[in-house]
Structure 1
Amino acid sequence: MQVGYHSLLSWLPLLCPGCTQPSRHGLLCPVCRSYLSSINEPCPLCGEPDCNGEICGNCQKRPPLWQSARLPWHFSGLTRFLIHDFKYNHNLAAGRALAAEWLADFSPAVKPEAIVAVPMHHRRKHYKGFNQAEWLAGRMSKHLQIPRWNGLVRQQQTVTLEGLTKKERQKALTNAFAVREAPPQHIALVDDVYTSGATATEVSRTLKKAGCQKIDIWALARTPLQ
């Protein structure tokens, strides 16, 4: 008798994507969960740590184009490992575990009208076969019961941003995005990692120019300021 694929899977142990030990639902085990480095009392606009939950000096001097940011972890240690495994190896178990932790006990004070992922250029997406931001946005949309909006496109294929300075990123991203239709008034913008804020700034500029009034930035982790 042939055993069905899903029946076979039901007999296999679910593993923690951090340490590969058996774990309920295949999410992070308690030990690995403790190794996610949370950002302490962050700036509510950029996630800068140790700000007593108040707006940091940089955001006071140069207010960003968005109104809030949820960036719970430092991009280091196990968090970095899991994001890289998810992003570059397409390990969806790592993505599911991170999304579940990100969403745990989270309820936005004011629900956005829609969620949108930072888009890839169509050539890069075809080459890579996977946009981790879109995948995360789908999980968040389903859990929070907020619809997706797909009117944002990447109209220019930019160089790889990894390793670039903030100024180099800003230059590379100029006019990189466009909208195909009028955006909702309140949008949550989803990405995997917040680095310099250059991507969030350029997307927010594009959305606000098209009529969006309020933007929330949602990402898994934040890198240190360069």
Structure 2
Amino acid sequence: MRRLAPYQTGLWLAEYLDIRCQLCRVYRSSPQSQLLQSQSTLHSNDALNTNTVFRASNDKSPSAKLIQQTYHLLNRGLLCAHCHHSIAWLPKPFEVDISAGTSLSIQAATYYDYPIRQAVRAFKHHEDITKLPILLHAIRQLPRARGCHHDNSVIVAMPTTNQRLVKRGFDPVSILSAQLSKHWRIPLWHGVMRVDDTISQQGLTRAERLSNLDNAFVLIENPPVKRLLLFDDVATTGASLQALGRVLSVPKATTLDNQSHSNYLLSGYALAHGSQP
């Protein structure tokens, strides 16, 4: 039997074995039918349909009772209504300059504020994998850029250094971007390497962030397509995405076919946007 990765186990445990809201941990989680008003049918992953449950509700047999319990378990959400609505509104996109006359538009899924901030910190700094379902719930609200699909676009996740990977033990952005890739059905591309040994961006001013990221990224191969969707977990000032975008906006002089690969279409995305006090 194939062994589940730790974060996959966390997804399963949080989603099916805990009925409390996964953010505030106070209120009971609400059914998806209540959180998503437009949802008129069960999610495709649910094993039972409404008609089956309705018939079972009039049946007092042990098997019918099991059907009812299973239905309510599978149709339960991860969040209480209050926490769901607190992260349900997309922030307005903001722009950062990446070259003369060129800017990068960054769209975040939610704000880096309570309660999502606590979930991000727990996942990134304490490896609390039970918070991963909430973060995935948020990034699935990101609108895919119009015209982007698996043949003409790639997702470029914010790379990390080997030193940071060894110290932390896992790469949060890699896990989140892999799930976004599945959701959008757009492949990941790993053609940029992070070579810096800079300090953490947290707590730095915008000017310090930009200086800290000088020469942080190296393009190790040309992108295979023109549409590049850059992704990071938290965009505070957008400095990291800005630096990544600058590297990708400057083509190599020549390629194997002696053609310049310029004029890439860049879009920036993040799980959350806001300050990191």
Q: When the two structures are superposed, what TM-score results if normalisation uses the length of structure 1?
A: 0.78
Give the Cα separation in 2 of the matches to 1:95 and 1:63. Answer: 38
1:81 counterpart = 2:118: yes
Letter in 2 for 1:70: Q
1:65 counterpart = 2:103: yes
- The gaps in structure 1 that reach 5 residues or longer are 47-57
Question: In the superposition, relative to structure 1, how do residues 105 and 204 fare at CA in structure 2: closer, same or farther (>3 Å)?
Answer: closer
Deviations, residues 144-194 of structure 1 (Å, cap 9, x unaligned): 110010111101111111111111111110010012111131111111111
SS at match of 1:65: strand
Map of 1:38 onto structure 2: 89
Give the Cα separation in 1 of the matches to 2:88 and 2:142. Answer: 17
SS at match of 1:71: strand
Map of 1:188 onto structure 2: 229
Q: Which has the greater radius of gyration?
A: 2
Give the Cα separation in 1 of the matches to 2:115 and 2:182. Answer: 26
Identity score, percent: 27
Deviations, residues 92-135 of structure 1 (Å, cap 9, x unaligned): 33222222233148343121611111111111111101221111
SS at match of 2:201: coil
Give the Cα separation in 1 of the matches to 2:226 and 2:214. Answer: 23
Give the Cα separation in 2 of the matches to 1:201 and 1:225. Answer: 18
Give the Cα separation in 1 of the matches to 2:141 and 2:158. Answer: 22
- TM-fit CA distance, 1:15: 4.5
SS at match of 1:216: strand
Aligned pairs for 1:101-180 (under 5 A) are 101-104=138-141, 106-111=143-148, 113-180=153-220
Regions of 4+ moved over 4 Å: 8-11
Letter in 1 for 2:208: E
Which one of the candidate residues 17, 21, 26 is aligned to 1:12? 17
Give the Cα separation in 2 of the matches to 1:174 and 1:145. Answer: 32
Map of 1:50 onto structure 2: none
Map of 2:268 onto structure 1: 217
Map of 2:80 onto structure 1: 29
Map of 2:46 onto structure 1: none
Give the Cα separation in 2 of the matches to 1:139 and 1:193. Answer: 16
Letter in 2 for 1:38: W
Q: How many positions carry a matched residue from both structures? A: 205
Q: CA RMSD in A?
A: 3.1
Stretch deviating more after TM superposition (209-218 or 169-178): 209-218
Q: When the two structures are superposed, what TM-score results if normalisation uses the length of structure 2?
A: 0.65
- TM-fit CA distance, 1:219: 0.5
- Are the aligned partners of 1:75 and 1:223 in contact in 2 as well (CA < 8 Å)? yes
